[in-house]
Amino acid sequence: MYISSSSDWNWNWETDSIATQTSENTPKTYLEVPEWVSFESLDFQKIWQNTSGKRHQQPQKEREKYEKLWLQNTELPITTYQKHNSFYDNIQKHIYSVMALRSFTQTGPYGIQITHFRIVDDIKTQLYCEYLVKFKTPRYEYSSWMRYSKLKLFYNHLFLHYSYLSFKNTRLSWKVLNSWKSWFRNLEMSYLQKKAFFLERILHDALYEIDDPYIFILYFT
């Protein structure tokens, strides 16, 4: 198997908050992907970025004006908003979250972070936690709800697909997570915040240590 040398991939590594942009020349007036869009399906997220995401940002005063007109001319807002709000009440922000970016010359910049988490009440099973993983590609931004078991599967798959890489930092971060985490189901907010931090660190390290973004595309888009 051919292993890419450092000269084959010109990359840089940074942490930042990023907007949806298709090129470096995209005007800054284009909208960032709103929080509520990231809670929708992946297909919806792509459609929004292909349409509304490419529109120039509406001035705040103009937006407020038309929102008031909309409220005056529809009977839907009250009931719709109540349902909408009950869904979001269960979603918690990951307070330690940060987007880590890596640029691959051949394919462009990629980024990863865990932005939120939520507790899911499934009648058929026990309560469990899901983490919202935001993955940035050169064209789109994807946000997917994933359980710890899916992220563990991603971690194990790393070593199968990139058997020629050592993943020194990724292994160390995983070891730290396992030495700290509770082996019993723990759904306390403080615990889940820290667990999201450790999981995000593993994703950051993996993005840093791979030599192509294939596995991230496979799992997070």
What does the pLDDT look like over 100-118, one tens digit per residue?
A: 999 987 778 999 999 999 9
Q: Across the chain, where does the E strand assignment appear?
A: 11-16, 91-93, 99-104, 108-120, 128-136, 141-147
Write out pLDDT tens, residues 141-168.
Answer: 999 999 999 999 999 999 999 999 999 9
Q: Which residues have CB under 8 Å from 149's CB, separation 6+?
A: none
Task: Say whether pLDDT at 192 is over 70.
Answer: yes
pLDDT over 50 (residue 119): yes
The answer to whether the beta carbons of residues 171 and 84 sit under 8 Å apart is no
Look up the pTM and report it. Answer: 0.76
Helix (H) / strand (E) element for 10: namely none
C-alpha distances (whole Å) from 132 to each of 2, 26, 31, 41 are: 34, 27, 21, 12
| pLDDT value of residue 2 | 33
Sign of CA dihedral 36, 42, 43, 45: positive
CB 110 within 8 A of CB 134: no
> Considering only 21-25, 28-32, 84-88, 139-143, which range has the smallest mean pLDDT?
21-25
For residues 202 and 155, is the Cβ–Cβ distance under 8 A?
A: yes
CB of 221 closer than 8 Å to CB of 42: yes
- Domain ranges for the chain, please list them: 93-220
Biggest CA pair distance of the chain: 65
Query: Quick one: average pLDDT of 36-52?
Result: 91
pLDDT tens digits for 3-23? 333 333 344 445 444 333 434
Strands (E), 121-178: 128-136, 141-147
Question: Are the CB atoms for 157 and 196 separated by under 8 Å?
Answer: no
- Say if residue 176's pLDDT is above 60: yes
CB of 136 closer than 8 Å to CB of 101: yes
Beta-bridge partners for 114: 133
| pLDDT for residue 121 | 85
Higher pLDDT, 184 or 195: 195
Query: 167: left (phi > 0), else alpha (psi -120 to 50), else beta?
Result: left
Q: Write the CA distances from 189 to 31, 119, 131, integer angstroms.
A: 31, 10, 13
Write down the pLDDT at residue 98: 95
- Domain 93-220, CATH number (from 2.40.160.10, 3.30.1520.10, 2.60.40.740, 3.90.1150.10): 3.30.1520.10
Across the chain, what does the average pLDDT equal?
81
